[in-house]
Structure 1
């Protein structure tokens, strides 16, 4: 007799559709991907696709959003941690975790040759919104310096993602620790918890924060 089916072994249709999007984007240009391609790759029917998504761009947005937000690192109490030690631990975790490397591989597709301006804009928007949220900033009341630093961080993220296919085989923890601010910004964004991001952000603006407290 065949082994009874276990639903837990089968990914939900929405997850299979998003995975299919990434598989297809690795194989061909975004403009050449169709809904038919996606449902065939995901092994679902068209009704299932349209139950979850209005069209292909909505699927792409959902896949990008989840890749940006997805992290397997558990929350860490940073009260008694040395920031530099925690920085090294997080970088090591990023490079050694297969799920995180897959996440980088997928995001790199959005910055790669098969992408489109629309996909890049989506990645920028989700990256920016995630960073603002995790830093507990008010998106409607950003001062110029914070606004510029967020744009700079997202720009650094894209710059590294464009080079990720050639970097992934050779990049080391030391590279992440010693490269310029754009690389560090990318690493912070991809690997640090909210608490650590706040800590490093404060270190960037340490003098400003100190001066603001003094004026208060």
Structure 2
């Protein structure tokens, strides 16, 4: 029994990398984004992930229980980073002038949002993105959906669905559908006038 336990512990030791190398979780995350850009989520395998990441299967299972847990973790971390927060602030406040044409971090964040919302994603990942945007809107505009009328709920879902659909177009329109250009279309005003109106009514109701 001791020999079995020792062997298990040895397998679970965190792999070592040379100084300057990306750590295993980062390598796996980068491989995931590359693969989901190339093929549908349901075709992504652990074997292909670890091959692209340059790690072994034991390393993958040290960090994640399965593909779904890995994807949910990576997507949640992407939606929680400061680039996503800055993106939301740019939409809300200054419009396209808030985003420089060479703002690499915002462009990468938008690219990855497109992969989550697009055809290569999964229903669970799209739902995660939807919930994060919904929560962000409710907090930013003090919208209380619990007291919202049926009309306001429909209006909110209409705006949310439209934004998700536009984001999901990004992977197939990489040259002409940048984050900066979307802000210049005027869609921002349509969406956020709707949200402000819902906010006013739900605050009055509350």
Rate the CA distance shift 1:32–1:160 in 2: closer, same or farther, 3 A: same
More moved, 157-166 vs 14-23? 157-166
Written as runs of structure 1 = structure 2, the 5 A alignment for 1:86-165 is: 86-90=94-98, 92-93=99-100, 95-135=101-141, 141=146, 143-144=148-149, 147-148=153-154, 150-165=156-171
Label 1:175 to 1:116 Cα distance change in 2 as closer, same or farther (>3 A): closer
- Written as runs of structure 1 = structure 2, the 5 A alignment for 1:43-62 is 43-62=54-73
Unaligned runs of 5+ in 1: 189-198
Superposition deviation, residue 41 in structure 1: 1.4
Shift of 1:10: 2.6
CA positional deviation for 1:58: 1.0
Shift of 1:30: 1.5
Evaluate the alpha carbon distance shift between residue 170 and residue 138 of structure 1 in structure 2; reply closer, same or farther with a 3 A threshold: same
- What do you get for the CA RMSD once the two structures are aligned? 3.8
Distance, in Å, in 2 between the alignment partners of 1:45 and 1:99 is 29
Q: SS of 2:82's equivalent?
A: coil
Please name the residue that 2:11 is paired with. Answer: none
What residue ranges of structure 2 are gaps of 5+ in the alignment? 1-17
Work out whether residues 25 and 109 of structure 1, in 8 Å CA contact, stay in contact via their aligned partners in 2.
Answer: yes
Deviation at 1:108, TM superposition (A): 1.6
Q: Sort the Cα spacing of 1:153 and 1:42 in 2 relative to 1 into closer, same or farther, 3 A.
A: farther
Contact 1:69-1:130 at 8 Å conserved across structures: no
Q: Paired residue for 1:191?
A: none
Using structure 2 for the length normalisation, give the TM-score.
0.66
Stretches of 4+ moved more than 6 A in 1?
Answer: none
Relative distance call for 1:40 and 1:120 in structure 2 (3 A) is same
Instruction: Report SS of the residue matched to 1:72.
Output: helix
